[in-house]
Structures are given as structure tokens and as C-alpha cells.
Amino acid sequence: MIRVATVTLAAAILGCALPRQTVGVLVTLPETPEPWADAWGQSGYRIQWQAYATVSGAVDVDPGSETVVIELPKATVVPVLAWPVWEAGGPALEPTEMMRPAGGIWSGDGIQLTYEDGPAAFVLNSAALRGADVQAFNHERLTAEISLRMPEDPWLLDTDRIVRALCERSMRVDYIREASRTSISIEVPDGTWYGTSPFGEPLTGGFLDLSAREGLTPHYDDRGRRRLVVVVDEEARVWCAISPPD
């Protein structure tokens, strides 16, 4: 049975002024990615959209909902994100951490959110939040180029570079590339550990050779209790720790 959640713009508003003319948009939600569903069950979603720096909204959708109707400003390009959320039994996220979202870019009619289109929607959303005008940007080409250049995992994209270029109005197609990564060797504790991207391969126990971007990269166990944290600093030094410790 299809479950439909409906939200009005007034309920979704995040303290901002809105255009007077809006339209109800049917948003089709993706299924929880199989590795995450196997580990933690079906997720709900926090649907979040950003048309301009001061025009945005959000609504929470329960697990099992297949669609949601939201009110969006007419005649605009609106990146829409669906952040997976588990009420209980999900990954052991810290308050500042989220799993990677599904997404899509609305420009008329309904919209189907997918995890494949999440990175394109994310960078446009982030740029709009920072005041960039994304209305005339060729979002179809951005989505296609990300899929072409990173077919296995689009979340390898250097999102910071794209957002910066959109804000500076200096976007070039050659900026659509993977973020810099460092080859590392680590000992992974027993168990299965899932990353924040639904396309990434889970880690299993033992000595592993892999790559990680600079900064902190978390993975989560299937019981929702522990985090495996890999940190790569600017000098390519590597730390690996379990939180909470055994």
C-alpha cells in the first residue's frame, strides 16, 4: 500500500519570506539502500529544499512512506534532498553527522528523488543556501556529468569545489571530479562497517588497503552502537579509532 505524506508550505517553512505563488509537488521517495536496510531497517526521511538563500523548507516523513506532497515556489529551480533518518536502531551518528542524502532537482511537474542524483542536488542546495543564483544553471548537464565521471559512487565528487565555483560563478566542467584521496592501510575490527555513502563497499575485519579523503571519515557497525573513525590530516598522517572504545 502506498503511504502518502502531505505538508503545506506553512508547516515546512524555516523562518523565511516566501513567494506568494506556490504549487503542490508530488515527491516520490527512494527505498532505503539495501545495505543500510539490512543493517538498520527502513529509514524515514527529512525532506529539505532550498530555492534561494531565504526561501527554504523541510518536513519529516515516516518510514514506509513512498510519496510526499510539498508546496514549492512556482517558476523556480529547486534542489530537493531526502536525508535518511532512523528513529531507533540506526547508525551511531554523532550530532553533526548524517548519511548521504537522496535528491533531485525540481523545475516543474513531479519529482522522483534518487540516491544517484543526491550529489547534484546537494551542491545546488548548498550553493543556494550561500546566496548563489542557481536558477539559470544547467542542472541537467551537471547531473549527467557526475553520473558519467563517477558511475560507481557519485559521492566521491569534490562537492566543496563545485559549491565554491557555483558561488563564484566560475563553474567549469573539469571541476566535476573526485575529491583528493590518500591511500592508507588500516586494521579494521571484526564486524561489518558501513560508510555514509550508499554506494560504498562496507568494510570487514582485517588489514585493508583503501583510500580516504582528508579529514574525518566515519563508518558504523550494523548494531548501531559503534563508529569506526578514520582521520587523515593535511600531511597524510592517518589515525583510526573505535568510538566508543571496546
The predicted model gives 74-98 an average pLDDT of 93
Domains of the chain, residue spans: 3-175, 181-243
C-alpha cell at 121: 542536488
How do residues 216-246 score in pLDDT, each as one tens digit? 999 999 989 999 999 999 888 998 898 887 6
Distance CA(107)–CA(117), nearest Å, equals: 14
Task: Give the pLDDT score at 109.
Answer: 87
Q: Annotate 158-181 with b (16+ C-beta within 10 A) or e (fewer).
A: bbebbbbbbbeeebeeeebbeeee
Distance CA(241)–CA(246), nearest Å, equals: 10
How do residues 171-230 score in pLDDT, each as one tens digit? 999 999 999 999 999 999 999 999 999 999 999 989 999 999 999 999 999 989 999 999
Reported confidence tier of residue 7, pLDDT bands at 50, 70, 90: very low
User: For residue 93, is pLDDT > 70?
Assistant: yes
CATH code for the structural domain at 3-175: 2.60.40.10
Query: What is the overall mean pLDDT for the chain?
Result: 90
Strand partners, 231: 216, 239
Distance CA(107)–CA(109), nearest Å, equals: 7
* pTM for the whole structure: 0.89
Task: Give the pLDDT score at 82.
Answer: 99
How do residues 123-137 score in pLDDT, each as one tens digit? 999 999 999 999 999
Reported confidence tier of residue 142, pLDDT bands at 50, 70, 90: very high
